[in-house]
């Protein structure tokens, strides 16, 4: 099977244009989200419910395993004992 280089070239051009549009949209989303967070903080509110939906901004506390420190500790063997190898496919347009 031969690659249709013209088709691939056009698709690469199109997807690059969409990536740019996606970045612009993401920047606009982040701008609005920052404004919403600021409004919630200034009014000491964690949740606001409106006709269009709700918005919340609150602290969430979680506990994670510090694998860097575990690897350096006397218990590094435990870290190594539970490592799993996995394989994934990577797609990139550049």
pLDDT tens digits, 34-77:
999 999 999 999 999 999 999 999 999 999 999 999 999 999 99
pTM for this structure?
A: 0.75
Once rounded to an integer, what is the mean pLDDT over residues 20-40?
A: 98
DSSP, residue by residue, 17-61 = HHHHHHHHHHHHHHHHHHHHHHHHHHTT-SEEEETTEEEE-----
Q: For 81-91, what is each residue's pLDDT tens digit?
A: 999 999 999 99
How do strand 53-56 and strand 47-50 relate by DSSP bridges? Answer: antiparallel
Strand, coil or helix: 83: coil
Band of pLDDT at residue 3, cut at 50, 70 and 90: confident
């Amino acid at each position: 099977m031969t690659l249709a280089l013209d088709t691939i070239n056009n698709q690469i051009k199109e997807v690059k244009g969409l990536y740019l549009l996606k970045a612009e949209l993401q920047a606009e989303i982040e701008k609005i989200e920052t404004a919403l967070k600021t409004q919630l903080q200034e009014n000491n509110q964690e949740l606001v419910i409106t006709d269009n939906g709700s918005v919340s901004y609150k602290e969430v506390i979680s506990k994670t395993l510090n694998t860097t420190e575990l690897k350096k500790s006397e218990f590094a063997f435990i870290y190594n004992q539970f490592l799993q190898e996995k394989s994934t496919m990577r797609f990139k347009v550049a």
